[in-house]
Amino acid sequence: MYRRESQRQAQVGGYDLTLAKPAGDRGFGWRTRARFSQGQAEARVEVLVWADLVQASMRTGILATYGQMIRVAWIYAASGALRRLMRLRRGPVLAALYPIAALTAQALAAGLVAALTGRAVAALTGWLGLAAICAAGAAWAVLAFAKAQDHRLFAYYLMHDYAFTASLRGAYPPHLEQRLAQFTDRLAEALSEDLDEVLVVGHSSGVYLAVTTVADLLRRGAVPGPALSLLTLGQVVPMASFLPHAQRLRADLAFLSEHPDLFWLDVTAPGDPCSFALCDPVAVTGVAGPGQRWPLVISAAFSQTLSPPQQRALRWRWFRLHLQYLCAFDRPGDYDYFAITAGPVTLADRFAGRRHSPGRIATPAGPGLP
């Protein structure tokens, strides 16, 4: 996607950008070479992979997924997190309820097919036992078919994603903590290299992991060498930070928001129904102190940065809109993902003097710190 979308954006922006394979064995990633009006730049992109941890939790059967659905719904409702989230922004909460609605609809459809099948078999054969077996088989066939279509429906995918976040009511599982420690070590290595900037990017659920990784790094002491920047895109931080046992994440948000050795830009858009658009993740969680300086909250302004034809093409494609931050804009403003990640200007310089977007939401709605 980076290769395809960067070429589209380069044509619009009038710059040159090429990709190449990385040198060495640092894992999945690529190198970029670019020529902008401000000068030339080279960048190395490394993906800090944690998807495998979520994928491991997805290897459950149909009944186990429905069990996860009930547990996740109970955690959010009983803890008060759902009520707090609804007061903040209803759009992403409704999007979060989609997998519950979709799985429930699939179960109701399976029940209806089972009832019709059982009644038909009983009427034809008069054998109630056979009718019950056929009804159960028909119901299971409907559920299995629906799961096989999840590459289009995303109900199971999203349900497992939310279940992973809520598995310990907001606390990080030990295997995720171990992975975050590895990320922090890699970030420390990068900061010891001869670079102009180390830019950490988090998107969607990856935002709160990026926050924790950078916070852990800064707790180790002064940051030498390159500028350290954090870019968070399409954040859903409240989905995690509002949970009752998310004290670790809430402390990380509070710590990072006041740190001077950092530039943190948070980008969302009201046109993205899956993110908490323009919600300051620190302030709305209730952990902002008097010394808060981060993040700078701006809008990607889809209504202005996407042409009417592109807006029409993306209408009702919620999940694609949620990825738009990583894609090309045909009317880009100062937010250009590829100029930011491959260009010669640091994040701090690019947005120097920029103020919060007017629609920024900073009213506390979360549980705050103890």
315 vs 201, residue with greater confidence:
201
Dihedral sign for Cα 185, 188, 194, 196, please.
positive
Would you mind telling me the total number of residues written for the chain in this entry? 370
- Tell me which H or E stretch contains 19: strand 16-20
Q: Distance between CA atoms of 50 and 238, rounded to whole angstroms?
A: 20
**Three-class DSSP category at 300:** coil
The pLDDT of residue 128: 84
- pTM, full prediction: 0.91
Q: Distance between CA atoms of 200 and 352, rounded to whole angstroms?
A: 18
Kindly report whether the peptide bond that precedes residue 295 is cis, defined as omega within 30 degrees of 0: yes
Band (359; pLDDT cuts 50, 70, 90) = very high
Dihedral sign for Cα 363, 87, 271, 345, please.
positive
Tens-place pLDDT, residues 68-111: 899 999 999 999 999 999 888 888 888 888 889 999 999 999 99
Span between the terminal Cα atoms of the chain, in Å: 42
Band (23; pLDDT cuts 50, 70, 90) = low
Band (21; pLDDT cuts 50, 70, 90) = confident
Residue 219 has pLDDT above 80, yes or no: yes
Q: Quote the percentage of the chain above a pLDDT of 70.
A: 98
Residue type at position 84: R
Query: What's the distance, CA 72 to chain centroid?
Result: 18
The pLDDT of residue 27: 74
The pLDDT of residue 233: 98
The pLDDT of residue 232: 98
- Tell me which H or E stretch contains 336: none
Q: Looking at 112-116, 158-162, 229-233, which range is the least confident one?
A: 158-162
Band (259; pLDDT cuts 50, 70, 90) = very high
The pLDDT of residue 135: 92
**Per-chain mean pLDDT for the chain:** 92
Query: Mutual orientation of helices 155-166 and 62-78 as an angle, nearest 10°?
Result: 50
